[in-house]
Structure 1
Amino acid sequence: MAASPSALPLAVMLGVAVVDTATGPDVNLLPVYATGPAIAAARGTLRNVLLMGGVAVALCVAFAAKADRLGALRMYVALAAVAYVTLATVYAAQARLWTERRLVDVQEVANTLEDLLFAPLPPTIVPVRLAASYISASRATRSGGDLYEAVPSFHGVRLAVADVQGKGLETVRCAAVVLNAFREAAPDVVDLADVSHPIESAMDRRTDGERSVTGLLAQVSPDGHLIVFNHGHPAPLLLTSDGRIELVEPAVPVPPFGLTALAGPGHQQDSFTQVTLHAGDRLPFYTDGLSEAQPQCGTVLPSE
């Protein structure tokens, strides 16, 4: 349970009072009580800061009377110092509270956008059971340049996993463009290979053109037939029900989205892999955030 915002300022002023008592009337630490409202400004509300200022004034008067200095110039100087610090910290607390409210509003907007960008996958889209995990490398946001999606279509379940080059807001924007283009095209486009065309077109129209996107487009038909188009992305692993592990790699590598024009016409004919899945087979898709991850000891994990 979090401590009260008043706890630390009161404890500090109590400590000053103990020292003031121990040192006697010759020292008199009256101005030091201003530390109470100053500390309160870091976490407390305006009311809390003013309350701590009132406590500091009361302690100043009490210890001035104890030292037989009630009405002395030293007491008035101390009270003026406490009042000045209290007013200054009220201003600082007001600025802090305004900034905190603005950050909360911005974070709520960011969370809403991230929820739209990364809607939870359904547990099942027949005949595929789905599960997803996303951990952002940034502490300030849940999303980065990686993306994933699964949608039903007349031809089976269609999936996309991709990783946008770079970092920052423009990278997140590019990820949103790719994701939305896939969501629009995947349910209706007849040939899975043609889903890449709307993605390329959206990147040309709606991004700065400075980023490429490695990605996988996959389709699992109702009879378990798997097709994977790989655009420069780490190949998925096929974990079969009988314990075998193999990479699902294309015969010919294809450049990432945004660079596929370099491959020339007809490149998609050799850039896909076909596999037949059986009950119990698992097919993990991932980005280089997993294949290049390092444990705490600093040893690089194998990518396969």
Structure 2
Amino acid sequence: MIVVPIAWIAAVFAIDVLAPSNIHLGPLLVAAPAITASFGGPRTVGAVAALAVAAQTAIGVLRDRDELFSSNHQAQIYALVLVGASLVVFCVLRDRRARELSQVRYVSETAQRVVLPPLPRTLGPLRAAALYLAAEEEARIGGDLYAAVRTATGTRLIVGDVRGKGMTAVGDAALLLGAFRAAAHRQASLGDLVAFLDKSVSWDLMEPDGTDGVGETFITALVLDVPDRTGRVEMIACGHPPPVVVRDGRPTTMHAARPAPPLGLGELAHPHYRADSFRFEPGDLLLLHTDGVTEARAPSGAFYPLTERITGWTDRDPEAFLRRLRRDLLRHVGGRLDDDAAVIVMARPASSRT
């Protein structure tokens, strides 16, 4: 790449020296350090700028034989020095900013691995894949969450969305995930587990001065119990989008007959948690997601029609299905989401027993 600005300096120098006296191409030399700044560091830009100044000086010597350095050539030399110095300063600041962003990405990725470790590819007889798309370009994690815990008889999963954004939302997500991982392996019913999660979130929402902050922040969540030896899945939907079962390319949304309020609002609603159930057969795909998927908008303002778009998709591999969904979703929104989105895809192999 460095050949391009050097060749440009050589070409401008040769043409300007041979051109008629009323034609001055020296100002075009400024393009050389400008081009170099697009790929080079401060030292490279400084070297090319110095070469451009030397070329302009040589042009002045060769063309102004009677009067060394006319005012026109002096002005061009000063301009090159000023532009070159400015570009060097720009490259120094740009590289410093790049190092800072690299550190931010590292910290963000470390936080994601701690709060949202990757799902195992296998959960007992199930295969799984997960995707997290952050709305912020430099972020790797937000208020969306998911986790899976193995039990003696199956797998318990949670997918949720914290109301709000920023580090407060990340902290609330970490709290809920910690409570879920600590309690999900116990032999308590799904209703007891969700009641425990609701209390954990409610306790965290108490203000430091002792005032009750319940109702100001909450977490929508979908908690499922997927047994190993039967196709019947139990779920409790706490204000969260329902799961979707894809069978032979036909998606079916599994709406909860007894929806519960979001976690953190239990102190207000005093719900009695009861699980709904649906069939999850061998060969099916189970799709869990946050509202960042279904509320993703196209430039025209249209929401992403999840079940309509995945109709006819016969991929049975969770990772392949998820890659296709990611491409389709980003294509729908024009490449960038307005809200975080999390997706889990699980498959019960056709050979598994129910």
Whether 2:184 is the aligned partner of 1:178: answer no
1:194 to 186, 192, 195: 192
How many aligned positions are there?
A: 296
2:219 to 182, 192, 213: 213
- Assess if the C-alpha contact under 8 Å between 1:226 and 1:276 holds in 2: yes
Stretch of structure 1 that moved more, 161-170 or 12-21: 12-21
2:108 to 104, 107, 110: 110
1:232 to 214, 234, 239: 239
Whether 2:46 is the aligned partner of 1:50: answer yes
> Equivalent residue for 1:72?
69
- Assess if the C-alpha contact under 8 Å between 2:124 and 2:228 holds in 1: yes
- Assess if the C-alpha contact under 8 Å between 1:291 and 1:303 holds in 2: yes
Provide the rounded CA distance (Å) in 1 between the counterparts of 2:81 and 2:279. 78
TM-score between the two structures when normalised by the length of structure 2: 0.70
CA apart distance, 1:67: 0.9
Whether 2:57 is the aligned partner of 1:86: answer no
Stretch of structure 1 that moved more, 249-258 or 30-39: 30-39
- Assess if the C-alpha contact under 8 Å between 2:242 and 2:253 holds in 1: yes
Amino-acid identity (%): 32
Provide the rounded CA distance (Å) in 1 between the counterparts of 2:222 and 2:64. 82
CA apart distance, 1:220: 1.8
Whether 2:104 is the aligned partner of 1:101: answer no
- Assess if the C-alpha contact under 8 Å between 2:298 and 2:304 holds in 1: yes
| Equivalent residue runs for 1:1-304 within 5 Å | 4=1, 6=2, 9-10=5-6, 13=9, 16-17=12-13, 20-21=16-17, 24-30=20-26, 33-69=29-65, 71-74=68-71, 75-188=73-186, 190-204=188-202, 206=204, 210-224=216-230, 225-239=232-246, 246-264=252-270, 267-268=272-273, 270=274, 272-275=275-278, 277-293=280-296, 299-302=302-305
RMSD of aligned Cα (Å): 3.3
- Assess if the C-alpha contact under 8 Å between 1:217 and 1:229 holds in 2: yes
TM-score between the two structures when normalised by the length of structure 1: 0.80
Consecutive unaligned residues in structure 2, runs of 5 or more: 208-212, 308-354
CA shift in 2, pair 1:145/1:18, >3 Å: farther
CA apart distance, 1:168: 3.6
- Assess if the C-alpha contact under 8 Å between 2:280 and 2:286 holds in 1: no
- Cα deviations by residue, 1:123-154 (Å, 9 ceiling, x for unpaired): 22223332333333443334333222111023
Provide the rounded CA distance (Å) in 2 between the counterparts of 1:43 and 1:171. 38
SS in 2 for 1:267: coil
CA shift in 2, pair 1:296/1:22, >3 Å: farther
Provide the rounded CA distance (Å) in 2 between the counterparts of 1:170 and 1:7. 50
Consecutive unaligned residues in structure 1, runs of 5 or more: none
CA shift in 2, pair 1:38/1:218, >3 Å: same
Stretch of structure 1 that moved more, 81-90 or 179-188: 81-90
- Cα deviations by residue, 1:17-69 (Å, 9 ceiling, x for unpaired): 47635753334354553443355345421221221122112211221133134
Stretch of structure 1 that moved more, 168-177 or 249-258: 168-177
CA apart distance, 1:233: 1.1
